[in-house]
Amino acid sequence: MPEGPTIKEFREQWIEFIHELQDKICEALEKVDGKAKFMEEKWERAEGGGGKTRVIANGNVFEKGGVNTSVVFGEVTDVMRKQLKIEGDEWFACGLSLVIHPSNPFVPTVHCNYRYFELYKNKEVVDRWFGGGTDLTPYYLFEEDAIHFHQTYKDACDKFDKTFYPLFKTECDDYFVNTHRNNERRGIGGIFYDHQKPNKERDLDFWMDFSNECGYAFIDAYIPIVEKRNAASFTKENKHWQEIRRGRYVEFNLVHDRGTIFGLKTNGRTESILMSLPPTVRFEYNYQPEKGTEEDKLLQVCLEPRQWIEISDLGN
């Protein structure tokens, strides 16, 4: 076992980090909204553990959003073994997950998730891993915003390993995909990683520090974009396109997202799991934006992911 905190001590450190991150992100989002406040609901899970769901709605900026934390545990069921391909007797998971849906179509939706998982057999930890990431889903493409967002996460990754950003950026592009729609991406990506297991070179403290850096980078990556775009005027046609793209968001979350599947398969709290869904969406038969429009420009980068930071800069 790597040197450093015991597993029990580390779990407590991770839980504390996740709750502090929830507090800081909620403070930043409330400040930029200027009107709406998060409502908190604490909940308990019969099988073990619980969480804190915080929801913001009908604000100056945010139409709907949630910043949730959970600390849950229980027995490994047959459904979990089959769905998640894990073997063990018991499990523990703790993480933060957020999705924010702004009202203005020129302000992007954003998703963020950082988590830690343990698997036990005969009361001993037999496996553990980290996962997380943050990705951006704009409705209209502003290249400077995309560059700012990706640069923020490259800077965070580079403090630990200069191979992380290009690797996790690619994983993000390859994960948030509606494969049933000609491999159309949900948005313009960010970083995503999963099943990162501690070892002698990258121990528990390494992944704690990395998660901390990336978790708090959310504020620097997203809030300036909100401040820049929220005052823009928009039309009903802009709102129509936003709702079309929100439909794609719903499709991914309900069909493909592993976090949603994990929550539902482990008897998680349905209201907290589905808080990621936007308040209004459109599903129109075979809707295609007109070629050459701003809407089409966004669609094209969802079909063909870009390197928002010059290739020569990656890993430098």
Exposed / middle / buried, residue 167 (Cβ in 10 Å: 0-12, 13-18, 19+)? middle
Q: Which residue from 78, 15, 74 is spatially nearest to 45, judged by alpha carbons?
A: 74
Angle between the 143-158 and 164-175 helix axes, to the nearest 10 degrees? 130
Cα R_g (the chain), whole angstroms? 19
Q: What is the structure's pLDDT at 270?
A: 81
pTM: 0.92
* Active-site residue, selected from the candidate residues 111, 195, 240, 256: 111
Virtual torsion, Cα 196, 198, 204, 205, nearest 10 deg: -80
Q: Which residue from 75, 59, 2 is spatially nearest to 26, judged by alpha carbons?
A: 59
Q: What is the structure's pLDDT at 85?
A: 78
Cα(292)–Cα(300) distance, integer angstroms: 10
Please list the ranges in the chain whose pLDDT falls under 50.
1-2, 313-316
What are the phi and psi torsion angles at 238 (to 5°)?
A: -65, -40
Domains in the chain, CATH or no CATH each: 7-313 (3.40.1500.10)
Please tell me the total number of residues recorded for the chain in this structure: 316
- Is the separation of the CB atoms in 135 and 111 below 8 Å? yes
148 part of the active site: no
Which tokens in the block code for residue 217?
Answer: 């980078």
Three-state SS letters, 67-106 = EEEEEEEEECCHHHHHHHCCCCCEEEEEEEEEEEEECCCC
